[in-house]
Structure 1
């Protein structure tokens, strides 16, 4: 159902712009760094202005301001064109109807398997269904997030069709002990607890964190309570300025109830899972040669009251070296190997629905790639690369990409790029249940974009605009007219649109970020609003901090049925903080202030007005 809401966001935007215009007239020589150093765009640490692809950066300060216990909801406010099916007060669950679906530039999946999530450059997805588990990514563990908007398969391989989200973990960066503790309680019996302790002693550093979030749920017609506990441990040692080693261990243990759609609510549909990750990283940071060897092992155990059970793994290694022997040139050589799969059971399913169950299935993939970046006259950067994919089932593929960035002036940057991306068929696509088909080939697309970044007013104002055009083919689709139904590479699409972001910081205690994204899709695509506006503000006054935000959505398709109307809605949120001391603070989050009734996924109503308040403490 289409919801018609008062245009609160436009009134607020006009008010904020009028306010910031007045402040700009008083502005002193404030310098705002708008060119952060990133590693995701090329696997080589360098300023974002030298990266030809579109990269958004959400730093530690922004994550803390948002106050979300999970990383992904914070990205909605900072990354243009990023949309998240955030269906609950806290927690996502797993599966197509459990939330957590990510869309970038209208490219998503059910389950989400066309936007790649990485932790420290290592791919994170289930071994059977090939989608990430959103509840496993706690904000306490992450230093910053770098998001490539658009195809990213040359550097990161399968699943990076819509983009890649690289979460870079925290580490102790000063001598001695540091830490953070936070507790909160709010609407629907929602409770949040999180904490981390960091320690550094000369060459050794360590961090441990724990998070617990739970809710009694807001659905009156069915159980939708949720609880999740995550723990994280990181240890590292710097042998020298050149060589270092670190190891990570992460666990997420959750229990949730799937309520089902309103027209057919489910009774006590309990689902639980345990997800884990272990990784070792060896890094070299020389002046001419730098890179890493990354070893990772992801695993999961899932059990549903419907009788479904599964165990899965996703393991592999990433090795790359950046060669910088020619002035202005960086050559990256890389090797990726991954092995993913698992076994699923469901004793309640009779043949032929039980196709592939009870058997362990594996897929192996070995890729090599080269990426070259060349700077010319300190104004022009040219880059290109190619990945050779070798899959144990479908054979070989070549994935190319190329692009340029050009400093047209001291404060003007132009970018253009074309990239190919792919998604390997998952285990469920190939082997499980009646639609499976072992002859499936990879899904593919070409992504083309042109962008401009303009800095004004002494670098206090930054305006970014990106136009994109994407063509996809070989999408895996199921024809319901076939008996039995079977998945085939029969789908195609054309997405085009624009992304824009305005960032304004007139004074150190004030900033404003405005996002707008437009996407025109050629097919019925879920979680891809035609117009998506976002406004995030920050203002500090003495001991108070205020962080209002607005999200406006027009033309959201929340059902694959063409006859169902598109959804329009407006959300107003505000986070307030009061600092008793520099270390001890009180916070309150008020969400959906106008109590808007809307559905991101048809049949699953979103929560109305709700609040969470609590206390936070930091020491160092």
Structure 2
């Protein structure tokens, strides 16, 4: 009730912005620009539109255009040209000055699954163009999100080629994360508007806590990206870009209801003010679900807990003078869940409260010589409180109290030289503090960094991209991570590309400082920095039976390192068909592994962390898109993945330790062979998706039908433990998921009706606690805008 009351003034303010917009009188300005294609050729006869003033200009024989008599403020520039992707960019016009921009159009790609974008998005939150890094990148547009009918971020990402939503049952039923190119979820950086989000459960970032209601697009980089984004970007980056282009007062009211008593309600509005010198955007979202159960042995309760959540998003920009503007971003979300579970023996009640806050303030400067500078302060806090009650005895089992802060300040600069070289640089510092009941007091880390990225067009067909980042960590010293990429277009239909990038990941707080004993099962986990002190205390208390020889390797953990290699091509033999192929290899060193290192007198093990593993992931991603007719498009994606722990392979070859034998549960153990090793747990050898999309503009009907496939993957050991997945262990079987969504607009696109059906065949598996059963959802949207 308190949260609902708190939301009322917020929604009232939102209503005010929907119905009011100010105006101011200013000296008019001029906008000029050049338009290129992705082969660096100037384009003539291209129509450039500027909204909301509906100004139009056509490029001349030299690819240039000019617009005069423009009021100062922020505009949305749009180009829709035959054979090219639709281009949009936010531009600022300054009073009494000539404002110049450079536009690069991309040859049309009708991908509905993953759109490879090489153009500039004009994101004021980050001068680094996520889609022009050296590693393979894709963009999921807002249009695609709407066509999928998705509600939460995990629902969008699990249908993308090369991405998988995974569950870590050992870390609790809320530990759901994202796996990319075979990396565990702890190695993918999750960002919002170019800044990192915090709050992970055993390395997993629960994507279901993020609503998609105010997302403009999702940018994905696959492969080591620490050269630009720092630690945790060992596998790649997912950047959530929120709504930005505000040109006129408008708003949206949306409500969806469906299976599991799911309610998803959104109210948002945006408006320029002060003669478009300023703009503001506000949104509020309420989401609830009864959760669902995928485990037939669970007599009461849910494997995915019920919860209700409120989230609020705000953005504001104001033009201070002819070159400077001030921006503010803010996001707050909370989630409350209560889950009573019973397997028929010991029923429990699990209560969890989460609070997630992100806020930033930035000063942007666009100088007359074309140089851009941006200084930003960013703050994020993630806080949880969890209690578990034994319902037989009403005893409360001590739960986690988790609070994580991140303060980050950063300055970026960008400048284009001679129309062929774009240089982006940045410097900054970050301070992180964590307060957790599982750690001995508060822990903190500091990091200082500098980076640069250059995009150089060597010729009309050849371009080179490169970047490097220097990090100084207060506990791990300095690291330099470079990357380089090459793009070559020998003919118009074919683009060849190759890239090499390096990555690193520093040990997290859990691996360094955790002191935890599971009161239900009795096992204990010590962080590497705490191990010897804690083990000595247990020895003095007479609780240690033996310490294993491997414990001698426990000391100061080293950062994990990786080198990512990728190469591929994009081939478009005709305008309606495109083939995209990428081959990747990720070489990983100093992997941090949790190992049993001691045995207590109660026969329970003690675990700690050490650098022991060498591993690699390798595979191929293939995407094909076909514009079958004017209204029907088809796309398909496939990933082949090998994920191998080289330490296990070497141990099997040498016949050492537990790796030396395989036991089928019936016959005596035999010597293990390399062919017995399936690979790393939770990784499927094959993943595929197919999508058909229909869009008929005259009737306002759009829809999509999607099929997702995942082959079997290893879950856990099922017989005598030998520390690797062999043919006789437990696997999650192969499965298909079928999803469909349809939308219809009315009243000049003011009203939209939606019908979504996810998991049509109602596939469930007890080893997949985050996979819901069949869900039927209906929705109604009303958009407020001037016709």
**TM-score past 0.5 threshold:** yes
Q: 1:130 to 1:481 in 2, by over 3 A?
A: closer
Q: In the alignment, which residue of structure 1 is the partner of 2:350?
A: 269
Question: What is the distance in 1 between the residues matched to 2:768 and 2:637?
Answer: 28
Contact 1:105–1:528 at 8 Å: present in 2 too? no
1:143 aligns with 2:300: no
742, 752, 773: which one aligns with 1:608: 773
Partners in 2 of 1:267 and 1:404 — Cα distance? 56
Q: Which residue number corresponds to residue 287 of structure 2?
A: 213
Can you list the C-alpha shifts for 1:576-608, whole angstroms capped at 9, x where unaligned?
A: 122233211221111111122335xx2637332
**Equivalent residue number for residue 336 of structure 1:** 428
Is 2:80 the partner of 1:80?
no
Within-5 A mapping of 1:172-571:
172-175=245-248, 177-201=249-273, 202-219=276-293, 221-223=300-302, 224-239=305-320, 242-257=323-338, 267-286=348-367, 288-306=370-388, 307-345=399-437, 356-357=439-440, 359-433=441-515, 434-438=525-529, 439-458=556-575, 460-483=576-599, 484-523=606-645, 524-541=679-696, 542-559=699-716, 562=725, 563-571=729-737
User: How many Å apart are 1:338 and its aligned residue?
Assistant: 1.2
Alpha-carbon distance in structure 2 between the residues aligned to 1:493 and 1:121: 29
The whole-number CA distance in structure 2 between the counterparts of 1:261 and 1:56 is: 43
Bigger mean CA offset, 445-454 vs 556-565: 556-565
Could you tell me how far apart the structure 2 residues matched to 1:129 and 1:363 are? 18
Matched, 1:104 2:220: no
CA positional deviation for 1:421: 0.5
Select between 369-378 and 413-422 the one with higher mean Cα deviation.
369-378
| TM-score, normalised via structure 1 length | 0.85
SS in 2 for 1:486: strand
Distance 2:344 2:685 in 1: 27
Q: Which residue of structure 1 aligns with residue 753 of structure 2?
A: 586
Shift of 1:55: 0.8
Q: For residues 161-183 of structure 1, what are the alpha-carbon distances to aligned partners after superposition, in whole Å with 9 as ceiling and x for unaligned?
A: 111111122124322x2112211
Q: Distance in 1 between matches of 2:582 and 2:682?
A: 20
C-alpha displacement at 1:502, in angstroms? Answer: 1.4
Q: 1:290 to 1:429 in 2, by over 3 A?
A: same
CA RMSD of aligned residues (A): 2.9
Unaligned runs of 5+ in 2: 1-81, 86-107, 110-116, 294-298, 389-398, 516-524, 530-555, 600-605, 646-678, 719-724
SS in 2 for 1:430: helix
**Higher relative contact order by CA 8 Å / sep ≥ 6: 1 or 2?**
1
Larger Rg: 2
List per-residue Cα deviations over 1:79-108 (Å, max 9, x = no partner): 420112389xxxxx9965425311110012
Cα distance in structure 2, aligned partners of 1:447 and 1:256: 39
Aligned residues: 568
Cα shift at 1:313:
0.4
The answer to whether the 8 Å contact 1:55/1:148 transfers is yes
The range that moved more, 249-258 or 262-271, is 262-271
Which secondary structure does the structure 1 equivalent of 2:596 belong to? Answer: coil
1:327 Cα shift? 4.1
CA-to-partner distance for each residue in 1:515-537, whole Å, 9 max, x for gaps? 11111111453443211111222
Is 1:122 paired with 2:195? yes
Query: After the TM superposition, which of the residue ranges 34-43 and 239-248 deviates more from structure 2?
Result: 34-43
Could you tell me how far apart the structure 2 residues matched to 1:550 and 1:197 are?
A: 34
Gaps of 5+ in 1: 1-28, 88-92, 346-353
Q: Deviations over 1:402-438 (max 9, x none)?
A: 1211112112111111111011111122112243113
Counterpart secondary structure, 1:485: strand
Q: Residue 175 of structure 2 contacts residue 204 of structure 2 at CA under 8 Å; is this kept in 1?
A: no
1:547 is displaced (CA, Å) by: 1.2
Partners of 1:159 and 1:96 in 2: CA distance: 22
- Write the deviation string for residues 185-210 of structure 1: whole angstroms up to 9, x where unpaired: 11121111112111123121111111
Distance 1:260 1:115 in 2: 31
Question: Aligned partners of 1:212, 1:526: CA distance in 2, in Å?
Answer: 36
Conserved? CA contact 2:148–2:740, under 8 Å: no
Provide the rounded CA distance (Å) in 2 between the counterparts of 1:192 and 1:591: 15
Residues 265 and 327 of structure 1: CA distance in aligned 2, closer, same or farther (over 3 Å): farther
